[in-house]
Amino acid sequence: MTRKILAAPLLLLLVACGPAPISGQRCVGPAASTPAPPPLPTAKPVFSPTGLVASRWQPGHVAVWDANTLVIHARDDTPRRLTLPADLGRVATATFDGQGRLHLLSESGVLLSWARGDGAPERRELDFARDTVQLTSTRRHLVWVGQPHRSYVPPPARASSDGGRTWTIVDAPDGGNAGLEIAVELDGGLQLMTGSEAACGGGGQHRDSGGLGQRSADWRALPWPLDAPYGWFLGPRGWAYARLEKGESCGDAIGTRLCAIGREKKLEPVELDRGARRSELARALEKWWPDEEGVPRAENGRASLLAVGELVVSLEGARGRVLARAPAGLSALALDAAGTPFALARGKLLELSDRHWRAVE
């Protein structure tokens, strides 16, 4: 019995090792297979931002994001890189409030709010926040504006005075059937412009001025002595603009392509700076329509920033300035509290300095 017990391991050893090992080699059990190569490192997704916002309140505060990541830049500070929740979905828009907090809203109505620290954001589900047109801020409020689903109804708009926890309906006048826009002022004032067109060819536009917490019946009409079915848009501080067809007049001026009107009933041609690009801008205006989809436009409550053809132009009242040539692949513009222009082009954040676009790292 003892001999059988000892022979069994010897037999197994011979089967496992095969022929007798060469001198200097050692048999260590079953024939070793070639070890598998180590797994290749997983490549990190490349950050290529698709959205951009600048603060109306803090100079140099800018945020960019893509589907997975949010990066917050602050002047003279290290950028904050944050991972967005996997279930957030597509981001619709974002805004900074007067306290420096960033609020980011998804297309499905999820609102994420970050304080200045690096903690987790507060998350809220806004069941009304669908078809978002804009999310912006006044000194005391967040203001959300949506796209109306039918004509001749008030635009969907809400305001929050507690950082997005609770929201009240903004009572605004009815919109028309040919475009609608709301401008939100820094002090909480509102300007609404809309157009109405009839099948017979008649129609027109009108604009009104009101405020948060004000009844629509108390809004007052603002002058608009033009008929511009297309090409009108609003600016800060009660200004509105129209891109005119050739031969149309702006008050007493004929031949101008861009007409401005403030709170008073006075049409003013936009006075362009007399730089070398003035004639280039005039040519660009020939083919430019501000309400065309995809035309980058931004404002900071004091001035407007827009892309006209291959040029980036600022508007402040009835004064216009060519700031620089638009960067290749321009997809978004932003204007911070100090009036510094930022751009998103080919997935890169750029800042305009001395008429040159420089990458922001």
Q: How far apart are CA 113 and CA 119, in angstroms?
A: 10
Q: Is 318 helix (H, G, I), strand (E, B) or coil?
A: coil
Task: Assign 15 to helix, strand or coil.
Answer: helix
Q: What is the mean pLDDT of the chain?
A: 87
Tokens 């931002």 map to which residue?
49
Instruction: List, in order, residues 6 or more apart from 190 with CB less than 8 Å away.
Output: 170, 172, 182, 183, 184, 209, 210, 211, 212
Residue 217: is its pLDDT beyond 80?
A: yes
Concatenated DSSP letters of 152-213: SSPPPEEEESSTTSS-EE---PPP-SS-EEEEE-TTSEEEEEEEEE-TTS-EEEEEEEEETT
Domain assignments of the chain as residue spans, ordered by start:
226-326
Distance of CA 336 to the CA centre of its chain: 13
- Give the tokens for residue 208: 């009104």
Lay out the sheet containing 110-114: strands in order across.
91-96, 102-106, 110-114, 122-125
Alpha-carbon span 148 to 88, nearest angstrom: 24
The per-residue pLDDT for range 224-240, each reduced to its tens digit, is 999 888 899 999 999 99
CA–CA separation, 296 vs 116, rounded Å? 28
Q: Is the pLDDT of residue 12 over 50?
A: no
Q: Give the residue with greater pLDDT, 313 vs 6.
A: 313
The pTM (predicted TM-score) of the whole model is 0.85
Residue 217 carries which DSSP code? G
Give CA–CA dist 260/232, Å, rounded.
Answer: 10
What is the pLDDT at residue 4? 40
When mean pLDDT is compared across 204-213, 261-270, 349-358, the lowest value belongs to 261-270
One-letter amino acid of 141: H
Q: Per-residue b/e over 30-47, b at no fewer than 16 CB within 10 Å? A: eeeeeeeeeeeeeeeeee
Q: Which of 56-70, 195-209, 280-294 has the lowest mean pLDDT?
A: 280-294
